[in-house]
Each structure stands twice: as structure tokens, then as C-alpha cells.
Amino acid sequence: MIRLQRIGRTNDPSFRVVLTDRRNSPKSRNFVEILGTMNAKTGKPALEADRIKHWLKMGAKPSPSMHNLLISEKVIEGKKLNVLPKKSPRKKEVEGEAPAAPAAEAPAAEEAPKEETPAAEAKAE
């Protein structure tokens, strides 16, 4: 498995991109190969793309966060995965901003002609 391993000190996160067995803890120092690094404060990863592609061909699978990072860095192609827990769904709008979609739909609903069904006409009589 290709995953991130935290190596930074307190309040200064930085990570190694390592190839390790899935059963190993991320904090264990048992890994096969270091495939890159990432400084979380600057957000700039330094990845060895050729080695990552090699291990992916050999059957290694990236963790969901690593999968999204590889897509962002254009090492692999695909769709990003939702890595948030199921209890907190992905936010679609910025807080403090009024939702734009319902406001746009409201005038369209008012402008549409109202058609009465034959059952509604029978009740009206």
C-alpha cells in the first residue's frame, strides 16, 4: 500500500510517501521504499512519479488520501475519492453565503403555467 507517514514535529506537519504492507501501522517504521515527501504547510509534494507508477503496476494500492494527491499531481488519472467520514458529508457551499440554486429555481416555478387536472376541476365544481 502507498500511504502517507507523518514525520513532522508538533504543529509542523510533514509527511513521507511510503510503500508499506497494509497490515503495518502508519506510525511503524517498517516500509519497503520511500516514494516522496510532502510538506503540509506549503502543500507542495515532491513525488517520485516513475517509482510510484512502477509499484502501482506491481499491484500496490494507494490509500484514499494518497489517491487524491496522485490525481492532483497528475501522476495518475481518475476521479477523486471522498475521504471525509460518512457522518460529515461533503459541504457544497461556502458558509455565510446564501444558496444560489433555490433562488434561481423560485422565479422559474412561478412563471410556469399552472395546469389543473380533471380531478381538480371536478372537485372545484
Dihedrals phi, psi of 67, to nearest 5 degrees: -60, -45
pLDDT one-digit tens code per residue, 19-43:
888 888 777 788 888 899 998 888 8
Tell me the per-residue pLDDT of 73-88, one tens digit each, with 9 for 90 and over: 888 899 988 888 877 6
Residues pairing with 6 in the sheet: 15
Has this prediction a pTM greater than 0.85? no
- The separation between the first and the last C-alpha atoms of the chain, rounded to the nearest angstrom, is 72
- Is residue 121 scored above 70 in pLDDT? no
In a domain? residue 78 = no
pLDDT of residue 57: 92
In this prediction, residues 40-52 reach a mean pLDDT of 88
| Total domains in the fold of the chain | 1
CATH number at residue 9: 3.30.1320.10
**Structural domain range at position 67:** 2-72
> Rounded CA gap, 92 and 39, in Å?
27
